[in-house]
Chains A and B, each alone.
Chain A
Amino acid sequence: MVIRMGTDTGGLTVWLSGELDHHAARTLREQVDSAVERSAAKRLRLDFSGVTFMDSSGIGLIMGRYRLMLSRGGTLTVVGTSERLRRVMKLAGLEKLPIWDDTKEVTHP
């Protein structure tokens, strides 16, 4: 899994690409959390458009970052999820969380 990050006013965007499993999620979580800490971002945006595989570790990652941003008085937005990824996310009821941005335009770094 390769990740790239970029910041703009008040926001941090993380572009994920590759396979998101338990092995990848461990490092990813540390990198994202420390970047949120460093940048003091109030908005975290996770872009999944480059993710080719995801199991329930991805659900844990999203729920954990949702709680993190909530505790910091900020927001999480998830974009670029394929139909396949959404199928996994639906099992967790993630579609009920206020994290979705369905804008078709996906920005790249």
Chain B
Amino acid sequence: MKRPCNEMKLTFPSRSANEAFARSAVASFLSQLDPAVDELADLRTAVSEAVTNCIVHAYRDTIGSITIQMRLYDDGRTVIKIRDRGCGIPDVPQAMEPLYTTGGDDRSGLGFSVMESFTDRLRVSSRPGKGTTVTMEKYIAVRTSREKAV
């Protein structure tokens, strides 16, 4: 397995104000790969969905910690893991179905659909009572300027 050329880890409480913080932090770390505007926007959106899920579902009536681990590889592969220690998902395939939600009014049930659509790979592993880990991968197109920098 190839080693990442750079990585970061970030832990913060599941307060909704941190949704914007998580997007910004991921975008800021990714900027060293000189991503295209769309690539950056895709990852910001996917991360926002995953972090919102932790806040709305995993820690529904409580505040817990959310950890983001991000790894960059020199071929442009970017892997982001978003982990919570919340309630877990009893039925992952059902939770990933478009429009399925337990979030109540005004939650669209499209969080996983957005993550799937805006990344190249999505994996969700969950244990009820233990927590959930969402792993997203996206290839950031390698550009000449970055190749020189690496």
Please list the residues of chain A having a beta carbon within 8 angstroms of any beta carbon in chain B.
19, 21-23, 25-26, 29, 53-57, 59-61, 63-64, 84, 88, 91-92
Contact = CB atoms under 8 A, between A and B. Distances in A.
A56 B19 contact: no
Given A55-B114, A88-B114, A21 B48 contact: yes
Contact of A59 (B19, B48, B108): B108
Nearest to B117: A91
Contact of A55 (B45, B55, B105): B45
Contact of A22 (B19, B44, B110, B117): B19
Nearest to B52: A22
Contacts of B48: 21-22, 53, 55
Contacts of A54: 45
12 contacts: A21-B20, A22-B48, A22-B52, A23-B16, A23-B17, A29-B106, A53-B23, A60-B107, A60-B108, A91-B98, A91-B110, A91-B117
B41 interface: yes
Interface size class of B (residues with CB under 8 A): 20 to 34
Nearest 3 CB-CB pairings of A with B: A23-B16, A60-B106, A59-B108
Contacts of A25: 106
A61 B20 contact: no
Contacts of B114: 55-56, 88, 91
Given A56-B49, A57-B52, A88-B114, A21 B106 contact: no
Contact of B108 (A26, A53, A56, A84): A56
Given A56-B110, A56-B114, A88 B45 contact: yes
B20 A22 contact: no
Interface string B48-78: 1100100110000000000000000000000
B106 A19 contact: no
A61 B113 contact: no
A84 B19 CA distance: 19
Q: By CB atoms of chain B within 10 A, which of A19, A56, A57 has the most?
A: A56
